[in-house]
Copies of this chain bind each other. A is one copy, B any other.
Amino acid sequence: MVIVGAGFGGLAAARALRRAPVRITIVDRSNHHLFQPLLYQVATAALSPADIAAPIRRIFRHQANVSVLLAEATAVDVPGKRVVLADGVVDYDRLIVATGATHAYFGHDDWAEQAPGLKTLKDALRIRQRILLAFEVAEREPDEARRRAWMTFVIVGGGPTGVELAGTLAEVSRQTLARDFRHINTASARVILVEATPRVLGAYSEDLAEAARKQLEKLGVAVWTGVQVTGIDAEGVCIGRERIHAHTVLWAAGVAASPLAQSLGVPLDRAGRVLVEPELTLPGRDDVYVIGDLAHIQQKGALVPGVAPAAIQQGRHAAENILRTLKGQPRRPFHYVDKGMLATIGRGAAVARIGRLKATGFVAWLLWLFVHILFLIGFRNRVVVLLQWAWLYATFDRGARLITEPLTEPLVGSDSPAAPSCREPSAR
């Protein structure tokens, strides 16, 4: 059998089949499993890529029924029972599709260049480079207005990623970089978090979302809710009809399911997710499972959220259904067990819900820290990350403040055209 995607879901499925009489091929276009919940820490220079990633081969070194294929899956040929790769095909008898989601610009793909999203290590390194370069250019820029634009950071999207990025960026500018520059006061950097709905962390209850907003504002983040981004270009962001001059815009707003879903030949939801059967199978096919962020599953009237615990539960459940099929037993419907939600905001600041219990502030943050260290893959990674966090907590110092890409264009002095004014948001 074949598993496409070695995220939380694919990994959980393969592990659950470790004693099963099946030969598993895992196909992934990366050679590593990525612990995405900490990706924003790579983007903000606290951790190195290797701290939150583990080679897929290494993970399955001792699981003899798994082989790993580094390849990009471009389509699934469901009737032909094969996965089409960029450079070949792989036949399967059973298939688990777990290719997840990527960020989406809601029809504004031209924003991608100016407002990078955060899904891969490459994305994180690009964002890190942008943030660090912005301060470097500001240090050299003599013009007050231009310097201001380099020291303005806009994060679009008030979900967990946006909140984490905004909170951390405020900490970076106010603490980490505070004494490193001679011409600018990094603490005067503006960090603006923009959210179109009335509140940040929309998946949380109103009181927790309000607590998150307060903690963000305490860290120095301007939280703008209920306002819509109508344009992004090299000069900044249009928020409604107001233009914010900013050279660093980060996109944490939309997700769209992996395009692989489109080749499955079944109905998708608006975000491109597959409307799977309760057993997690593709409608009409009992040899294809779809799990994780790629799957649309309703439970008690609500969508199962696109979070790591849900993907892991689905991976395990798909594996169990495959085992049951092998034994001639009927497949069982999936039931999501919601253990709670955690979002971190900054140093000692977080919100948490565990079952019906709620926590905010330092307690929630400790809980967040504990859970993330616990679920990080690899003993080595846990030790290194704990060490880096202890150092960061004690000193505010971020070890991975590296600009590794060579400078390809002049940093200062290039005259940019006057930014056009912003238009009224179009009714969509």
Give the CA-CA distance A412 to B140 in the complex, in Å: 47
A256 CB-CB contact with B under 8 Å: no
Q: CB distance B57 to A181 under 8 Å?
A: yes
Count of residues in A whose CB is under 8 Å from the partner chain: 62
Say if the beta carbon of A58 comes within 8 Å of chain B. yes
Give complex CA distance A83, B4 in Å. Answer: 54
A122 touches B406 (CB 8 A): yes
1/0 contact trace for A26-58 toward B, CB 8 Å? Answer: 000111100000000000000011110101011
Can you list, as one digit per residue, whether each of A50-77 has a CB less than 8 Å from chain B (1) or not (0)? 1101010110011000011111100000
Q: Which residues of chain B come closer than 8 Å to A69, judged between CB atoms?
A: 139-140
Q: How far apart sit A30 and B129, CA to CA, in the bound complex (Å)? A: 11
List CB contacts (< 8 Å) of A154-187 with chain B. Answer: 177, 179-183
Q: How far is the CA of A125 from the CA of B122 in the complex (A)?
A: 12
Asked if A88 CB lies within 8 Å of chain B CBs, one says yes
Query: Which residue of the partner chain, among B31, B179, B412, contacts A136 with CB atoms under 8 Å?
Result: B31
Q: List 6 A-B contacts (CB under 8 A).
A: A49-B400, A50-B400, A120-B404, A121-B402, A121-B404, A380-B399
Across the A-B interface, the 8 shortest Cβ-Cβ residue pairs: A87-B410, A48-B48, A57-B180, A50-B400, A67-B182, A70-B136, A31-B403, A55-B401
Q: Taking beta carbons and an 8 Å cutoff, which residues of A are in contact with B? A: 29-32, 48-51, 53, 55, 57-58, 61-62, 67-72, 86-88, 120-122, 125, 132-133, 136, 139-140, 177, 179-183, 378, 380-381, 383-384, 387-388, 391, 395, 397, 399-407, 410-414
